[in-house]
């Protein structure tokens, strides 16, 4: 039995975490998948995450360092102490593959094998590059980590944008395996506001997600009577969103919602003004539900939509957004735009294709 250990940041909402779980759900004979947490998640979604792993028969291992969001200190501490508790786990199971996702797990895996290099014998290291920008604030350390992964031919990119940005920064062009996303059965969402154009923003409230643009667009469109904006998420900019938009009658704010993918078809449009992405799973999930995405033409987001997608804005230009929103109306279920998005996503982002591609890479 080939044991594969996926190292993720925490058991919580996140695109990289979802990719790891989707790979680990593979039914290919001869593989035993484990999910290892770097920082101990403690949100309401953590319980759902663990329940999903149990239901799928995926083995999991909880972290010891708590998820305390304070200038990334605890994340870096978790990476430093990771080898101390991971060593007994590694020796007990002797994984054939250690597969890391995102920078802090990457740092932890690099540090583990730096301390115990002999354990690389018989163990393949795989690293999925989930973003177009890496190692913000840790460029020096990041260079050392990248040399390790390049030396061991570990890297896999999730999109053309990720691959090209990595090649520009580090001089290596890794292979691409697109993230696979499963279609979710749809049900009616109770939040939608009758007779309004319901627009959904769902994601981490962080600068990367274009939160400043989100605020500016909603404030510009607040006087119209056609729209209702549903903003779902949490993050370091939540206070800004609450202060700027919380009192507007056309806005509903919600914390992260488990099972959001199952109600996406209830909305008229998804709004994604991201500055950059690795490969946006939320955009793909929306398309698979027939929900058109209003998107910034950003690396890792533009890759998820057809080249001729009509709801794309360049450079998060506010004027372009205002003009685009001005032409939006309520949509009929299964309209041409929704079908165009769904057909494209189905053709490019199949989940079984992703599983088989990674398993081939494990064997290479």
pLDDT tens-place string over residues 128-186: 999 888 998 889 999 999 999 999 999 999 989 899 999 999 999 999 999 888 889 99
Question: Residue 60 phi/psi, 5° resolution?
Answer: -145, 155
DSSP string of 167-206, one letter each residue: HHHHS----B-PPP---------S-PPTTSEEEEEES--S
Rounded to whole angstroms, how far apart are CA atoms 295 and 288? 16
334 to each of 86, 143, 207, 293, 331, how far by Cα in Å? 49, 48, 33, 14, 9
Tell me the mean pLDDT in the region 75-87: 92
% pLDDT > 70, the chain: 99
Would you place residue 201 in the very low, low, confident or very high pLDDT band (cuts 50, 70, 90)? Answer: very high
Per-residue pLDDT, 347? 87
Distance CA 293, CA 270 (A): 5
Q: Has residue 120 got a pLDDT over 70? A: yes
pLDDT of residue 69: 66
Stretch among 41-45, 205-209, 228-232 having the lowest mean pLDDT: 41-45
Mean per-residue pLDDT, 40-46: 87
What is the reported pTM? Answer: 0.73
Residue 230 pLDDT grade (very low, low, confident, very high; cuts 50, 70, 90)? very high
Report residue 45's pLDDT band, with 50, 70 and 90 as the boundaries: confident
Residue with tokens 């309209």: 335
Neighbours of 364 (CB within 10 A): 9
- How much is the pLDDT for 76? 83
Q: What is the DSSP letter of 6?
A: E
Band of pLDDT at residue 225, cut at 50, 70 and 90: confident
């Amino acid at each position: 039995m080939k044991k594969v250990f996926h190292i993720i940041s925490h058991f919580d909402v996140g695109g990289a975490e979802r990719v790891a779980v989707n790979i680990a759900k593979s039914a290919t004979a001869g593989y035993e998948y484990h999910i290892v947490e770097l920082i101990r998640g403690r949100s309401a979604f953590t319980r759902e995450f663990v329940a999903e792993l149990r239901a799928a028969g995926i083995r999991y291992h909880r972290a010891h360092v708590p998820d305390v969001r304070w200038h990334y200190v605890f994340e870096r501490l978790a990476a430093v102490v990771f080898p101390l508790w991971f060593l007994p786990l590694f020796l007990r199971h002797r994984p054939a593959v250690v597969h890391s996702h995102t920078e802090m797990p990457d740092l932890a895996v690099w540090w583990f094998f730096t301390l115990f290099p002999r354990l690389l014998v018989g163990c393949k290291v795989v690293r999925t590059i989930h973003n177009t920008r890496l190692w913000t604030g840790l460029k020096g350390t990041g260079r050392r980590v990248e040399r390790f992964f390049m030396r061991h031919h570990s890297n896999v990119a999730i999109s053309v944008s990720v691959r090209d940005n990595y090649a520009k920064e580090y001089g290596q062009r890794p292979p691409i395996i697109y993230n696979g996303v499963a279609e979710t059965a749809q049900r009616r969402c109770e939040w939608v506001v009758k007779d309004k154009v319901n627009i959904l923003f769902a994601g981490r409230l962080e600068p990367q997600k274009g939160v400043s643009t989100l605020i500016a667009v909603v404030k510009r469109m607040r006087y119209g009577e056609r729209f209702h904006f549903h903003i779902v998420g949490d993050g370091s900019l939540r206070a800004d969103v609450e202060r700027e938009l919380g009192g507007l009658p056309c806005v509903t704010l919600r914390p992260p919602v488990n099972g959001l993918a199952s109600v996406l078809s209830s909305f008229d449009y998804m709004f994604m003004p991201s500055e950059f992405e690795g490969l946006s799973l939320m955009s793909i999930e929306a398309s698979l539900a027939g929900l058109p995405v209003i998107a910034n033409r950003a690396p890792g987001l533009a890759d998820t939509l057809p080249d001729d997608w009509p709801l794309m804005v360049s450079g998060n230009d506010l004027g372009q957004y205002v003009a685009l929103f001005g032409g939006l109306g309520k949509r009929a279920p299964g309209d041409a735009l929704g079908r165009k998005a769904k057909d494209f996503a189905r053709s490019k982002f199949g989940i079984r294709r992703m599983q088989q591609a990674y398993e081939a890479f494990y064997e290479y």
